[in-house]
Amino acid sequence: MEVYFLGTNAGIPTLQRNVTSVVLRLLEERRSFWMFDCGEGTQHQVLRSPLRLGKLEKIFITHLHGDHLFGLPGLLSSRGYQGGTAPLTVYGPPGLKAYLEVSLAVSQSRIPYKLEVVEHAGGLIFEDDCFKVEAGLLEHRIDSYGYRVTEKDSPGSLNTELIRSYGLKPGPLYGKLKKGEDVTTEEGVTIIAADVISEPKRGRVVTLLGDTRPCAGSLPLAREADLVIHEATFGHDLAEMAYQYHHSTARQAAELAKEAGALQLLLTHFSSRYSSGEELEPLREEAAAIFPQTLLAAEFCTFPVVRRRSGH
């Protein structure tokens, strides 16, 4: 599981950065990737990346402002031309379905795969055997949502060397042990499953927050997350402007990460006033003074989602 950025700018694209789009790569877990927001030009960013739209399984839209949405119709259309035939689900606030229906119909775009649009108002919006995704309302000029992606715990591994020491050869009884069932060998030796299975592997949690002021809705989504991706549109010297425009500062993002007990913080959604990496570094320093495990997002860069150790 790793995060890959296609766009890290706020509002409008610049020559240095494109508008918002974040990818959660799940190649080992699902052989696919999920996308969060799809600003204008995202499909061009995909062409410059190692991503293939045929592997895109889900898209989550945080809110319906253009810098998070205008790239969606074109990307959906291009996916079909690039060999994407598997079903695709798009999640987002009410109004998303109408936007896509009109855009695709007026442009006579042909979608040669099953496209499902799921509008939501928060809560649990997806769950299967491996993952669940929850959404929560934030505080912005329009309804804006954050998403909490939870990887479910995976069973512990069998200690095959220890099992063989009991004289048990690989076979059906291994499967029972894996399920947590005690077994008895032909020689009458009982093997306790708990003695030969390691602790379950804790699933990781990734929180991706849409545009927002500091608000109560952010904390439940970020609680004990392994990675929090938070907007840092401005430095804290512009806190009043951030509030007026319903955005956050780097310091405010760090305060949330600290309060939530997160493991790592990634800052993104930077104002165009910060045109270079050197100008962005003070934002990281501002946040790191409160939450040291802070990094700056960068386009076409991969950030592994580190698994929290037991007891941390």
- Give the chain's domains with CATH numbers: 2-154+201-304 (3.60.15.10), 160-196 (no CATH)
Extract the annotated binding site for Zn(2+).
63, 65, 67-68, 140, 211, 269
pLDDT at 111: 94
pLDDT at 312: 53
Looking at the DSSP bridge assignments, the partners of residue 38 are none
Extract the annotated binding site.
63, 65, 67-68, 140, 211, 269
With 0.85 as the threshold, say if the pTM is over it: yes
pLDDT at 154: 84
Among 67, 129, 195, 226, the one annotated catalytic: 67
pLDDT at 242: 98
Q: How far is CA 255 from the centre of its chain?
A: 20
- Residue by residue, what is the 3-state secondary structure of the chain? CEEEEEECECCCCCCCCCECEEEEEECCCCCEEEEECCCCCHHHHHHCCCCCHHHEEEEECCCCCHHHCCCHHHHHHHHHHCCCCCCEEEEECCCHHHHHHHHHHHCCCCCCCCEEEEECCCEEEEECCCEEEEEEECCCCCCCEEEEEEECCECCCECHHHHHHCCCCCCHHHHHHHCCCCEECCCCCEECHHHHECCCECCCEEEECCCCCCCCCHHHHHCCCCEEEEECCECHHHHHHHHHCCCCEHHHHHHHHHHHCCCCEEEECECCCCCCHHHHHHHHHHHHCCCCCEEECCCCCEEECCCCCCCC
pLDDT at 124: 98
Contact between 41 and 18 under an 8 Å Cβ cutoff? The reply is yes
pLDDT at 117: 98
pLDDT at 186: 84
pLDDT in tens, 88-99: 999 999 999 999
Those residues of the chain that have pLDDT short of 50 are: none
226: annotated active-site residue: no
pLDDT at 310: 61
- Cα dist from 44 to 41, 71, 72, whole Å: 5, 9, 12
- Minimal CA–CA distance to 57: which of 79, 86, 36, 81? 86
